[in-house]
Amino acid sequence: MDKRSITIAIVLAMLVSLVATTSATSPATVVYTLDPSHSKFMAHASASGLFWFKGHGHHLDASDFTGSVELTPQSITPASMRLVVKTASLHETGAVFTDQQKQIINKELHDIVLLPDQYPEIVFQSTNVTAKPAATGGGYEVKLTGNLTLHGVTRPIEIPATVTLNGNEMHAVGKFGINRDDFKVKATSAFHGFVRVSNHVEFEFDIVGKS
């Protein structure tokens, strides 16, 4: 074997060793698929409404959403999260409203506020995740940075959450706020006025994922 062949063989052996070492030391990630039957995604907004809605906040619950979380069990990071909410599934659940009032609110949510026919999904996709052990409870305090797409507008947001792992289950709880004007979401129209809310809207999630 000439010197050139020996050199090539040594380089190849080093590359194989490097790949094997990297594979052995890199932490394995686990994908958790969202379980909608044990999860919740909600939106809350204080009111500035008219007529019998005046003084009552709106509490919207999503009945159709999917998502997944990929994380490293021993440290959380590296990790990523994607959550997709069907806009049309958001509906009023406030206990202060009658069924008739909820029907009116839901119609305005569809026709004026959320426009699900035009903007069928609300999507969050993380771009960076940091985590540290929680002070109590044995979970992790997680900060998700990513992009939220709502009403056809995509803007960066930051979401704090608490994540716990138990066997093949992942439980994440968090909340974040947005300014609806940033996403060009209307509160009402001049001819209606039943769904009038402040600019600040708070989203809350309590999700369970299974690997």
Render the chain in DSSP notation, one character per residue: --HHHHHHHHHHHHHHHHHHHHHHHSPPPEEEEE-GGG-EEEEEEEE---GGGTT--EEEEES-EEEEEEEETTTEEEEEEEEEEEGGGEEE--TTS-HHHHHHHHHHIIIIIS-TTTS-EEEEEEEEEEEEE-SSTT-EEEEEEEEEEETTEEEEEEEEEEEEEETTEEEEEEEEEEEGGGGT-----TT--SS-EEEEEEEEEEEEEE-
pLDDT at 113: 85
Structure-token pair, residue 193: 């006025």
- Report CA-CA distances (Å) from 63 to 50, 66, 156, 209: 27, 10, 25, 16
Q: Tens of pLDDT along the chain (211 residues)?
A: 565 555 554 545 554 444 444 444 556 999 999 999 999 999 988 765 433 454 577 889 999 999 999 999 989 999 999 999 999 999 999 888 889 989 988 988 898 889 999 999 999 999 999 999 998 888 999 999 999 999 999 999 999 999 999 999 999 999 999 998 899 987 654 444 555 556 788 999 999 999 9
User: Would you say domain 28-210 falls under CATH 3.40.50.1100?
Assistant: no
- Taking alpha carbons only, the member of 146, 123, 134, 202 closest to residue 172 is 134
> Domain-by-domain residue ranges, the chain?
28-210
pLDDT at 138: 85
pTM over 0.75: yes
- Report CA-CA distances (Å) from 49 to 53, 56, 96, 129, 168: 6, 8, 14, 38, 45
